[in-house]
Amino acid sequence: MFLEQLSGNLFQGLILGAVYGMATMGLSLIFGVLRVVNVGHGAFMMVGAYCSLWAFHGLGVAPILALPLAMLVGMGLGLIFYYTVIRRLIKAPELATLLATFAFGVILEETIKLIATSESRGFNWDIGKIDFGFTILPYTKLIAFAGSVLIALLLYWWFNKTRAGMAMRCVVEDDQGARVCGINVEWEYALSFSLGLGLTVASGVLLTMFIPVGIQPYMGGGYTLKAFVIAVLGGLTSPYGAFFGGLVFGLLENGSYSLFAQIPGLEPFAMTRFFSFVMLLVILLFRPTGLLRAR
């Protein structure tokens, strides 16, 4: 019974980890190109959750169809925030960009609160389940997993097979050399910030496939914390490493839950976060640059 439960939790952790990883790719992309740490990360995921909520209740369509809209909303917000604030702070001390991205998060939270109130909301999109023998998984979670993998593959293809993607990689390696080669570095900065936030907002839609309830303006704090752990695990400057780190984190989080549930007197949900951070410290002792340092 325990092995069956553990196998089921690990499988579900792998599925959820793909969404975690995709959610963190935007964080790593922005830091890799701009060296800006987005501490308002969770607030942008919250915007994506509201996009799926609006699609289901407002338009009457499947919430997963909000994914393109969420991507466009995120990229639009990214361009607005970059050209109004971030580009003026690229050469400023790191604390300035930390405060700026924190302010972005607060602005988004309070704006959504004014529009939709602070009441927790949700939806019920049930399209059936599949029985794997050792666990039962809703099709909605499989759709989220497939969407996360597809987006990660598309990002990999874009970086390695398109001129725009290769130009961005050149900027990461040497922005001055990129300028000499005729690359519009300013635009690449704006594009990376926009694309990073687009991925983050889109991940909020995928997350609601797992947690379709409790959608409210201040839901993002816990996901910001998880994203930083995942980003460090995978190598803070590597979007691909972030995706891999998300898979590892999902396995650790769900697998440790099964173990802690067998120990009387422990609260499994609380201990899973403790265990994840312990494993983070252990991994960083042997791999300080993360599991995958390539950009």
Q: Is residue 46 part of a domain?
A: yes
Q: Is 142 exposed, middle or buried (0-12, 13-18, 19+ CB in 10 A)?
A: middle
Model confidence pLDDT, tens digit, residues 232-282: 888 777 788 889 889 988 888 887 777 777 777 777 777 877 777 777 777
Number of domain units in the chain: 1
Q: Which tens digits make up the pLDDT trace of 179-217?
A: 888 888 899 999 999 999 999 999 999 999 998 999 999
Is 275 inside any structural domain?
Answer: yes
Q: Is residue 122 part of a domain?
A: no
Out of 15-19, 21-25, 144-148, 232-236, least confident range: 232-236
Q: 262 in a domain, yes or no?
A: yes
Q: What percentage of the chain reaches a pLDDT higher than 90?
A: 46
Expressed as residue numbers, the domain containing 190 is 2-116+132-286
CA 30 from chain centre, in angstroms, equals: 12
What CATH number does residue 106 fall under? 1.10.3470
Residue 124 lies in a domain: no
Residue found by looking up tokens 């990073």 in the block = 196
- Please indicate, yes or no, if residue 125 is contained in any of the structural domains: no
Please indicate, yes or no, if residue 138 is contained in any of the structural domains.
Answer: yes
In a domain, 165, yes or no: yes
pLDDT level of residue 295 (50, 70, 90 thresholds): very low
| Model confidence pLDDT, tens digit, residues 53-95 | 999 998 999 999 999 999 999 999 999 999 999 998 887 888 8
